[in-house]
Structure 1
Amino acid sequence: MAALIMVRPGRDWQSSGGLFDWTLEYLIPRLTDPTTAEWLRTVVEENLGSLWIPDLPYEAQSEIYQLLRADLLRAAERELPEAAVAELRELIALTY
């Protein structure tokens, strides 16, 4: 199943459902806003397959961008194949 993250208006990232879930599962325990973390958990558990970051509160958007830029690649390099890491690099580039 394909999945989509709308990173910013006009900038979206498409991936497999598995990589999408892995990305959200990376973010969930690191988010300081419990409401946003719970929403991401719902997206994963209900297999909704899309996340629109611009629809989240501004503070949550900023935190997600920061988390994606900070350590996501290191975690991915430890856990995922290189092709998935390359896709995540594309996601991170969209946050700027």
Structure 2
Amino acid sequence: MIQEIALLRVKPGMTTQFEKDFALAGQYIASIKGYKNHQLQRCLEDDHKYALLVQWETLEDHTVGFRESEAYQEWKRLLHHYYDPFPVVEHFEVVFENKN
């Protein structure tokens, strides 16, 4: 399993509409093969900063399957104009997990 993590900085005055559009955009990412789940978390110290967490079965499910899809074009149309600066997206894999 791969965890995609992106720190999103939303332009001032746009957070409410961003959250609404993000809820709509979720249908597009969820439609992709290898998608497991996603979360959007808002920072408590800075209400214009969000963390996007997406779990994929493989790296290629995100980098090829999603990014080369029509669904990604809709995702971009709905969300990319909110970001300043444009986010860095990174991928992680579990090396240790405590299930207590």
- Give the TM-score normalised by structure 2: 0.39
Higher helix share: 1
* The structure with more radius of gyration: 2
Higher strand share: 2
- Give the TM-score normalised by structure 1: 0.40
